Structure 1
Amino acid sequence: MTTSPASVRTRRHDDILLVTIDNPPVNALGVDVRRGLASAIEAAEADPAVKAIVLAGAGRNFLGGADIREFGKPPQAPALPDVCDRIEACAKPVVAAIHGAALGGGLEVALGAHYRVALGTARLGLPEVLLGLLPGAGGTQRTPRLIGAAAALDLMLGGRHVGAAEAAALGLVDRLAEGEDAAAAGLAYARELVDAGAAPRRTREAAALSDRAAAQAAIDAARAETGKKARGLFSPMKIVDAVQGALDSSFDDGLALERKLFLECLDSPQRAGLVHAFFSEREAAKAPETRSARPRPIAGVGIVGGGTMGAGIAVAVLDAGLPVVMIERDEEALARGRANVEKVYAGLVAKGRMQPQAMDAVMALWRGSTAYDALSGVDLVIEAVFEDMAVKQDVFKELDRVCKPGAVLATNTSYLDIDRIAAATGRPQDVIGLHFFSPANIMKLLEIVVPARVAADVVATAFELAKKLGKTAVRAGVCDGFIGNRVLAVYGAAAQAMMEDGASPYQIDKAVRGFGYPMGPFQVSDLAGGDIGWATRKRRAATRDPKARYVQIPDRLCERGWFGQKTGRGYYLYPDGARVGTPDPEVEAIIDAERLRAGVAPKHFTDDEIVRRYLAAMINEGANVVHQKIALRPLDVDVTFVHGYGFPRYRGGPMHYADTVGLPKILDDIREFAKEDPLFWQPSPLLVDLVARGANFASLNT
């Protein structure tokens, strides 16, 4: 056995050289791995006793892609494209034996090999688009030549992972192998090839693009669809351009185009935003309590409430394979709760995304009861009842009575004081907030709200649950609205002030969509239901500062029963159950009347002015949330808004975006806006301090 370097080992098995990549934890393609692979190929080609080469990964993966420790550092030779080219140019057959992840550059290495065998655990993909990049080591050129333009574009534009069976069906791998030993499967395949006298079979020479008309049609369709869906993203269209190059050019010219487009993506601010979002998601999951305490075991979950939110949470839990006990006040409500859960799975069955037998198996994990005593054996209970303090306190008194010692008691409140909810029990150390976002089985964000007396292992349990549910978790402190809804209330107020001051809700929504949001604030209000915000405003009325500006336009709409999509009209009209609204002249008339009542002389706003005010309010309150330790770091605010509120991921989040604009510019804007409304536009002490020190939000993330 030789070692050259430590992360790549070589060993002869008769006339076959096994090359093992061993770079824990994921076998990332760091410089030592790249050098080791190139060196192993060179040595094998120079050794007449070697007839074939097998590439395999140690540990859980084949190759997990780029080494994130090298992000932002000067490149070191050999570059991955050169390594892939060297593997492909080898005069002796090279077999990639794939298990676990073969992602990004890892799959590009496998595509550089001449033959590919995969175990059932294999996951293959080219997810570079998720980081604002495109496959830059031949992936845009080899993949369409191997599996065709349509399949290659689907893989690269979606950034998704495919399992071994789908990879084989697509033609990404040549054969599937049983067992758990990828190296053994690779050696067996290589032995067959050597015995058969098989020659290298280079992916660059694959002929899946030979039907030029079909390939061009796939490229044209992807270009049209990407233009509609990408919403300002830079790299997806570059991927389409690269595949067009694969069809129109020689392989070497296509590689040159790929490199040019890759470097353009690398220089894009969008890449920096997407990389920030990627790392922030990882960092947000590392709450202090997860380092100091072990999570409690979770084998069964109770859910109190079977409405839209409770049913969505139940689906998320069932999807994770955990049994659910649902509690409702009577049999009729319980039947509705079960029906709400079944409706989700029935929809999947109707779309062919789930087999009826699988639905039956999942629903077998669900049981319901009208008696709280049915929760006596569960490890965690999530309350999802009406957003009223007295109602929730009554629920927690019952949970305190029936739940076993050590059970975690969680509330899904969106705004309420969890310390007061915990105080209704004799075990406040077991009470935590789990703020899901609707629909709870789809939305990724989970705010884990940490009250004053909760035990560290309960917080660790919440983060472990988030992982099981596939959620992106953010730690939040207790205040009205926690991180997300607290900040939302402020920039929502800024949007309403602009509406009263002269901008129509339709212009505001358009400007916010132009920034990259999928929907504007008034569209979101109509989707969520205007009555939700109305109830919150009424709840806060007694504590609202009488000197603070209060825009009454939303109340006028609610007083008419115009709550949005569910009532057929809100800020927009939704005739015949339409999902997309149209502007409503009557709403504009109400706005005009309210301006007159409030003595507001309407003024003109440009779209840029709207976005500046909207984001300044968001950033300023985000800074307050960090300053007051409701969020641990600015990155926690970023993750919250990317995953829960539609902030464009490629901009990284509001705090990262503020750094790119420059905090002095944000502070100057706030001070300018304060000339009109000094009470609302009070600069955050944190923002003022950072500007004075010449620092930025990123400096607080470490």
Structure 2
Amino acid sequence: MSVTKRNEADVGYVEIDNPPVNAIGQSVRQGLLDAVRWAEELHLTRVILSGKGRAFAAGADAREFDSAPLEPHLPDVLNAIDESFVPWIAAIDGVALGGGAEVAMACRMRIMSPKSQIGMPEVTLGVIPGAGGTQRLPRLVGLAKALDMISLGKPLNAADALAAKLTHTVEDDPVEEAYMVNTEELGCIVPTWELPAPEHDKELLANARATIAKKSPNQIAPNRAIDVIEAGLSIPFHDALPIERAAFLELKIGDQARALRHIFFAERAAKMPETIKADPVALDHIAVVGGGTMGAGIAYALLNAGLRATILETDEDGVARALTNVEKVIDASLKRGLISDARAQDHRARFNATTDYTTVGDAMLAIEAAFESMEVKKDVFAKLAMTLPKEAILATNTSYLDINELAATLPDPSRVIGLHFFAPAHIMKLLEIVRGDKTSDAAIATGFALGKALRKIPVLAGVCDGFIGNRILARYREAADTVFMDGSSPWEVDEAMEALGYAMGPYEAQDLSGLDIAHANRRRQDATRDPNRRYIPIADRMVELGKLGRKTGAGWYRYPGGNGKVDDPIVADLAIEESHLAKRERTDYSGEQITERLVLAMINEAADILDEGIAHNARDIDLVTVFGYGFPRWRGGLMHYADTLGAKAIVARLRELSQEDAVAWKVSPLLERCAETGIKLADAAPSK
């Protein structure tokens, strides 16, 4: 049964029981509607509604969104609860999100436990509340709070919900408290649908739209939510519901909603392969080698997960730097209210930085985050192998280097795995778990166990230069540099990619990370670079001029006074000069042409990555591009977006581009197979 009910002393206890998160599918809706009739037939004094397990109800069952709506529809169920002569009380312990929050708001009263959350994150799935949420929430919390909650999709904790008057009280045992509510008090609470709508406020609505334009550009659902809320301010409650429902049903089948659902399910499917049967090693104490920005971020992420972390450095100056870097992250978290003073002290108590490798003799996992040099990393691994237990896993955070070469220096290469974090490591959700030729199942299991402990999104990758993400990034930058040299400017390229949905384009992003980092990687590749592949030297000229990005006040852009970026005509002149030296005729590319070239370059490279077995499926590439490299989530990730374009169209255009440069634009065999057979990239399998 998805909904259970029982009657004790004229009090009905109704419990949603649809594990794991009590999603409100058809059976739950039917169960709730049946419970309304049951309670009325028995003339119960109240119904106490709760959720079994760790959730009250975590929203609608998104798996139903690709099909026609099934009766009973949630708006009808909630109207029945809201209008029933038997008052319902929502006893919320855990999350009440989306449809779950709508169910709670249809109840006469809401009681939350201290650890609970309530919110309406529908816009994160490309839709809006579709069962009265846009109309009930403003009546309960006011227009300003409702606009914020619905258009941004951020939930409230119990304390904030109480302050917003979304819950009546916060108690440790909501069910028991619901039973104790005075019957007369409960009868005096006006049903939500009878509450007046807030006054129309043009300024609040305009501010909400301005916020969305800044935080969610190009996304349809947030603005539609604001429109529907506004429409309901001046008409009766029941007249507004069809407007909301029509908008929800329209958005549900749109491209953005499909893309966001794809990422939603891809994220939840990011788990260790079922073929891995080994157990992970213990993760109570973890060594981190290197206390720079990346190492400190990794250490803080470990501390935040309740683990003990020790940073190993080469000298006392390095130890001091590591201590300072970790303390900076702790202080920043304190200022943002992410941790309490007590928790900060607990973090400090579980952290140490030292030059003494013997202090980590009990650690079963070490993560190397030292300088990106094979010799440096080999030396670190040799020290770790001598100090840590023989069963300990040795992980490298390298972004590009050959893990097989590194592992080959150890007596037992099966201990070695890549754990590629993304900066800032304590914030970015992606974790590339890189499997070497000899990597053991225990090492892989440990990588996934760590990812789960840190609440990261784990993606298994094979060994190649750059793995999944940085290999695509390298091709992205190469295509951008080619467009730049042949006819555009960095700001035109950035503007085109921001129009696609990136938060920032490739040149502004490189200014943020530093041009010297990419320069060092190009020098590493000099000996193995294909002599037939065109090389764009502009970035090398930039480094020679000392234009390294924000840290030097100038890169692809200038940053006067440390403020915002401004275009730099010197950079544009460099491209014209190099183009002249290379005897290239420059072309005036449109924004659409720029976007097409950069996106097709990434898709083609990603298809090769999948064909070679570096990525195990297209879904993993989507996760990497969205959570590691800023590809717009609402487009579903790179490969999902490619499937919306169609393999035939992609191959046809790539063949045209290959006439310009047969090496850079060589069509991926996987794309050709998909074009010939009609198979989607989502369903394509590696050939190796």
Fold-level similarity (TM above 0.5)? yes
Of 134, 141, 152, the match for 1:158: 152
2:171 and 2:508 mapped to 1: Cα distance? 51
1:344 and 1:670 mapped to 2: Cα distance? 45
Query: What secondary structure does 2:57 align onto?
Result: coil
Aligned residue identity for 1:647: F
Deviation at 1:247, TM superposition (A): 2.3
Structure 1 range deviating more: 234-243 or 681-690? 234-243
Change in 2 beyond 3 A, CA 1:616/1:468:
same
Deviation at 1:226, TM superposition (A): 1.0
1:378 and 1:158 mapped to 2: Cα distance? 42
Query: What secondary structure does 1:144 align onto?
Result: helix
Q: Which residue of 1 aligns with 2:305?
A: 320
1:229 and 1:252 mapped to 2: Cα distance? 31
Deviation at 1:307, TM superposition (A): 0.6
Q: Which residue of 1 aligns with 2:680?
A: 696
Query: What secondary structure does 1:284 align onto?
Result: coil
Deviation at 1:356, TM superposition (A): 3.9
Deviation at 1:196, TM superposition (A): 5.4
Q: Which residue of 2 aligns with 1:369?
A: 354
Q: Which residue of 1 aligns with 2:507?
A: 522
Aligned residue identity for 2:38: A
Of 422, 438, 448, the match for 1:453: 438
Q: Which residue of 1 aligns with 2:390?
A: 405
Change in 2 beyond 3 A, CA 1:159/1:289:
farther
Query: What secondary structure does 1:232 align onto?
Result: coil
Of 96, 99, 105, the match for 2:99: 105
Of 243, 257, 265, the match for 2:243: 257
Q: Does 1:31 align with 2:26?
A: yes
Q: Which residue of 2 aligns with 1:687?
A: 671
1:286 and 1:348 mapped to 2: Cα distance? 30
Structure 1 range deviating more: 281-290 or 638-647? 281-290
Q: Does 1:132 align with 2:126?
A: yes
Deviation at 1:286, TM superposition (A): 4.0
Q: Which residue of 1 aligns with 2:178?
A: 186
The size of the alignment, in residue pairs, is 686
Deviation at 1:46, TM superposition (A): 2.2
Kindly report the root-mean-square deviation, in angstroms, between the aligned alpha carbons of the 2 structures. 1.8
Q: Which residue of 2 aligns with 1:273?
A: 259
Q: Which residue of 1 aligns with 2:162?
A: 168
Q: Does 1:673 align with 2:668?
A: no
Q: Is the 8 A contact 2:611 2:685 kept in 1?
A: no
Residue deviations 1:305-361 (CA, integer Å, cap 9, x gap): 011111111111111121110111111111111111111222333455544444233
Structure 1 range deviating more: 672-681 or 198-207? 198-207
Aligned residue identity for 1:138: G
Deviation at 1:256, TM superposition (A): 2.1
If the length of structure 1 is used for normalisation, what is the TM-score? 0.95
Residue deviations 1:671-698 (CA, integer Å, cap 9, x gap): 0000010111111110001111011112
Q: Is the 8 A contact 2:14 2:49 kept in 1?
A: yes
Change in 2 beyond 3 A, CA 1:533/1:162:
same
Q: Which residue of 2 aligns with 1:628?
A: 612
2:186 and 2:491 mapped to 1: Cα distance? 69
Deviation at 1:280, TM superposition (A): 1.2
The equivalences for 1:544-563 within 5 A come to: 544-563=529-548
Residue deviations 1:76-122 (CA, integer Å, cap 9, x gap): 10111111111001011111111112111011111111011122332
Query: What secondary structure does 2:48 align onto?
Result: strand
Aligned residue identity for 2:193: R
Deviation at 1:655, TM superposition (A): 0.7
Of 494, 503, 508, the match for 1:509: 494
Of 9, 16, 21, the match for 2:16: 21
Residue deviations 1:223-242 (CA, integer Å, cap 9, x gap): 11112221201111112112
Residue deviations 1:264-289 (CA, integer Å, cap 9, x gap): 32232111111111111122324345
Identity %: 43
Q: Which residue of 1 aligns with 2:425?
A: 440
2:421 and 2:377 mapped to 1: Cα distance? 16
Of 41, 64, 78, the match for 1:84: 78
Q: Is the 8 A contact 1:92 1:200 kept in 2?
A: no
Deviation at 1:454, TM superposition (A): 1.5
1:183 and 1:354 mapped to 2: Cα distance? 30
Q: Which residue of 2 aligns with 1:243?
A: 229
Query: What secondary structure does 1:531 align onto?
Result: helix
If the length of structure 2 is used for normalisation, what is the TM-score? 0.97
Q: Which residue of 2 aligns with 1:497?
A: 482
1:328 and 1:637 mapped to 2: Cα distance? 34
Structure 1 spans left out of the alignment, 5+ residues: 1-5
Q: Which residue of 1 aligns with 2:377?
A: 392
Aligned residue identity for 1:76: L
Q: Does 1:117 align with 2:106?
A: no
Q: Is the 8 A contact 1:226 1:237 kept in 2?
A: yes
Query: What secondary structure does 1:278 align onto?
Result: helix
Q: Does 1:205 align with 2:194?
A: yes
Q: Does 1:587 align with 2:576?
A: no
Deviation at 1:201, TM superposition (A): 2.6
2:422 and 2:378 mapped to 1: Cα distance? 21
Aligned residue identity for 1:258: E
Structure 1 range deviating more: 632-641 or 601-610? 601-610
1:588 and 1:69 mapped to 2: Cα distance? 50
Q: Which residue of 1 aligns with 2:580?
A: 596
Q: Which residue of 2 aligns with 1:614?
A: 598
Q: Does 1:219 align with 2:211?
A: no
Aligned residue identity for 1:558: V
Change in 2 beyond 3 A, CA 1:197/1:593:
closer
1:44 and 1:200 mapped to 2: Cα distance? 18
Aligned residue identity for 1:431: V
Deviation at 1:663, TM superposition (A): 1.1
Q: Is the 8 A contact 1:302 1:380 kept in 2?
A: yes
Q: Which residue of 2 aligns with 1:3?
A: none
2:11 and 2:341 mapped to 1: Cα distance? 48
Q: Is the 8 A contact 2:4 2:15 kept in 1?
A: yes
Change in 2 beyond 3 A, CA 1:227/1:248:
farther
1:197 and 1:451 mapped to 2: Cα distance? 63
Q: Which residue of 2 aligns with 1:487?
A: 472
Deviation at 1:222, TM superposition (A): 1.0
Of 622, 640, 648, the match for 2:624: 640
2:340 and 2:122 mapped to 1: Cα distance? 32
Structure 2 spans left out of the alignment, 5+ residues: none
Of 4, 7, 21, the match for 2:2: 7
Structure 1 range deviating more: 166-175 or 483-492? 166-175
Q: Is the 8 A contact 1:91 1:200 kept in 2?
A: no
Query: What secondary structure does 1:313 align onto?
Result: helix
1:161 and 1:297 mapped to 2: Cα distance? 34
Aligned residue identity for 1:81: P
1:659 and 1:585 mapped to 2: Cα distance? 39
Q: Is the 8 A contact 1:633 1:701 kept in 2?
A: yes
Aligned residue identity for 2:233: L
Q: Which residue of 1 aligns with 2:61?
A: 67
1:356 and 1:216 mapped to 2: Cα distance? 41
1:46 and 1:199 mapped to 2: Cα distance? 22
1:220 and 1:611 mapped to 2: Cα distance? 31
Q: Which residue of 1 aligns with 2:522?
A: 537
Aligned residue identity for 1:257: I
Q: Is the 8 A contact 2:152 2:222 kept in 1?
A: no
1:347 and 1:118 mapped to 2: Cα distance? 30
Structure 1 range deviating more: 24-33 or 197-206? 197-206
Q: Is the 8 A contact 1:327 1:372 kept in 2?
A: yes
